[in-house]
Amino acid sequence: MRGQQSDGINMWRSSSRRGKNKGELRVIGTAGYKPILNSACLTNKLKTFSDMCKKREVRSSRRAVILKADRCLFGRIIVMAQVRSLNMEDILSHPLGPLPWALSAPDGLLRKTNKATMATAFQKNVALQEKHPENSATVVDGMNLVQRVKGDEVTFRDVATTILGMALREGSQSRRIDVVFDTYKQNSIKNSERSLRGEETGHELQDITSTQMVRQWRNFLTKVNSKTSLISFIVNEWRKPEYREKLQEKILYATVIDKCYRITYQDSEEKKQMDDYFSMPPREGYQSIVICSEDTDVFIMSLAFCDKIEAPLFLKCGTRTRTRLVAIRKVAATVGMDTCRALIGLHAYTGCDTVSAFAGKGKTRALTLLMNNKETQDTLLKLGQEWDLSPELSNKLEAFTCVLYAPKASTTMINKLRYHLFCAKKGEIESHQLPPCKNSLRQHTLGWKMETEEEGEQLVLHWMEGQPAPEAVLDLLA
């Protein structure tokens, strides 16, 4: 997490205004720009091509100018450069927009990519295991079970019963079943990104009772506090005798925030959660661990840490009637542990649930670069190991980004590459097709940042620092 914002940088102090033209949305800010999520934005979610060309107002220190998010801006800049003898390379070292379009979607949210392609690329050359491993412990993604429940017009007791049945089916071939629920913190990156999308609209329940009816299940699950209350309720229900009877000879472990409960037919007891959690099943005599999850993030973390886990890992995915088992160690052996250890850094840098992806640059190309270059593996392995971003690591990530955009790039400097690509296309290129400038790329690497707002401390995104364009351009566009 980065430290507090420096005095010279103003974070997003945004307010919305209607422009002179119908439908025009203006964002007032200085160094960074925050999307306006008002009722109109939330009710009109469908985007059209015209949304890409909507004007956004950006206030500099002395004036307000209008920048457009399409190639017309580039055409105007070319004319300015010819007439005014402006330095195009200097101009392109700025974002040239209220947001860096290589990283931000037209609606001001994080750009997304299909992260599942990474898991598909790893698994295609590895034979899937058909037989369930004997004497295995099963780990189940608890929130995945919750999301699969329909929920409406039933009681919360019914929900707890349904989820327990789903967990027992997932671990039907194991004696030990671990149901791991997510931990939800109010001030977290995941929650901040969810708020940025405008998803915090559901009703909230603090105290859940077993006979209480479930209303608007999907809206209920959008609230962080509601999910935390639900998890506590479910696990406490499972500890009751009528639920324990369903376990028969199985041993159930269930997590609630920082607690873990061991539940059997006979009794229930609290266990201290340990950092070396995955070493527990082998110590108890289990020969392997089966993880039930469709989440690509879980697959990537399994590969990254499989050499530190004593028992072989298997990832179970698919449908209820057709499942498949992926042997994690076999996958790691085909690509090498150096690649696996660097996967978390690669996944975060090229786009995940809480980090922007590079527009038009999917996971496959980045993965190929990682597998074929030892220096890239070392660079992405170091990413995230320290809070501070060293100049050396920043330069290496910049060089990696250049190759990501242009495999035969003759430069390792992102601003020069922006200029070269712009010239190669003779200006006929849209802003999101260029890599982000160095300014925005650094902010992308640093990630979310804690800010003190009127509502208290919040995690926010810095898209850029300084001016969105050189002073000469701002003067001409004013």
Confidence of residue 222 (pLDDT cuts 50, 70, 90): confident
CA neighbor of 448 nearest in space, from 105, 1, 99, 103:
1
Read off the pLDDT band of 78 (50, 70, 90): low
pLDDT value of position 232? 95
What is the per-residue pLDDT across 316-373, written as a single tens digit (0 to 9) for each?
987 667 788 999 999 999 999 999 999 999 999 999 988 999 999 999 999 999 999 9
- pLDDT for res 273: 61
- Predicted pLDDT at 457: 80
Mean pLDDT, the chain, integer: 80
1-9 own/partner pairs: CB under 8 Å, 24+ apart: 1/387, 1/448, 1/449, 1/450, 2/387, 2/446, 2/447, 2/448, 2/449, 2/450, 4/450, 4/451, 4/452, 5/449, 5/451, 9/462, 9/465
CB atoms within 10 A of CB 195: 14
Q: Which of 2-11, 102-111, 318-327, 408-417 has the weakest average pLDDT? A: 2-11
d(CA 363, CA 374): 18
Q: Which of 120-129, 163-172, 186-195, 320-329 is predicted least confidently?
A: 186-195
As a whole number, mean pLDDT of residues 103-110 equals 86
Return d(Cα 463, Cα 116) in angstroms, integer.
Answer: 26
pLDDT, residue 105, reads 87
Angle, helix 391-405 to helix 374-382, in steps of 10 degrees: 130
Residues 247-262 have pLDDT tens digits of 999 999 999 988 899 9
pTM of the predicted model over 0.85: no
Residue 395 has what pLDDT? 97
User: Which string of b and e fits 440-466 if b means at least 16 CB within 10 Å?
Assistant: bbbbbbbbbbebeeeeeebbbbbbbbe
Q: Which domains does the chain have, with CATH numbers?
A: 16-113+350-477 (no CATH), 119-336 (3.40.50)
Contact 312, 328 (CB under 8 A): yes
What is the gyration radius of the CA atoms in the chain, in angstroms?
Answer: 25
Please report, rounded to a whole number, the percentage of residues in the chain having pLDDT higher than 70.
78
The pLDDT value recorded for residue 183 is: 86
Confidence class of residue 312 from pLDDT cuts 50, 70 and 90? very high
pLDDT at 190 over 60: yes
Q: Say whether 45 sits in a helix, a strand or coil.
A: coil
pLDDT tens-digit readout, 263-292: 999 999 998 765 556 677 777 889 999 999
The C-alpha atoms of residue 473 and residue 182 are separated, in whole angstroms, by 48
Where do the H-state alpha helices sit in 35-91?
39-43, 71-84, 88-91
* pLDDT tens by residue, 16-71: 333 333 333 222 222 333 333 333 333 334 444 344 444 444 444 444 444 554 44
Q: How far apart are CA 245 and CA 247, in angstroms?
A: 5
